[in-house]
Amino acid sequence: MIPLSDLGKRLCILGPSNSGKSTLATAIGRKCSFDVIHLDQLHHLPNTDWQVRPANEFIALHQVAIARDHWVMDGNYSSCLDQRLERATGLILLDVSTATSLWRYFCRTLFEPGRHGGLEGKRDSLKWSMIHHIMARTPGNRIRYERMFCELDLPKIRLSSVREINRCYKRWGLQLHGE
């Protein structure tokens, strides 16, 4: 496993929904004093039940965020992924199973009202559209992200299980919940 410092000062974290991207981004940001940018929070309006922001507003917020000097950014959003990767100095791909993503979705929605990356002022609720997204779209996205990961010429690491993610936390000296 490569040292965290080898990934540089602008890190992208990609992976399936509910794979732990936001939690990992928060832990890295805390340890390295990087700005933590949760793309879900830029893409959706605060105090709503995941209402999407107008596309031009999201792209503008994304451009401002990637212009910063030190950041860790979690989220996929392929509409602006190329611009993000052009600025990134390192990539972390979380590649947990679809079953893990689905389990984590239920857990975070039902038991984690103040989770990392959640929308300000709103508790998550179970949504059939999200369950469908995890079950139907995740397998295709996994193939696309793996191909992209192999082609990118950036310092990078792929973590393909919860066990690998936990080992990464330990190796990098990250704290899971600010303990």
Class of domain 4-172: alpha beta
Buried/exposed code over 60-91 (b: 16+ C-beta within 10 A; e: otherwise):
ebbeebbeeeebbbbbbbeebbeebbeebebb
Extents of the domains making up the chain: 4-172
Mean pLDDT in runs of 10 for the chain (179 residues)? 95 93 94 95 87 94 97 94 96 94 86 67 75 88 89 95 94 80
**pLDDT for 43:** 93
159: which strand partners? 94
Closest by CA to 12, choosing from 95, 101, 89, is: 89
What is the distance between the alpha carbons of residues 79 and 73, in angstroms, rounded to a whole number?
15
Residue 121: the pLDDT is 60
**So what's the pLDDT on residue 116?**
65
CA 57 distance to own-chain centroid: 20
Q: What is the pLDDT of residue 125?
A: 74
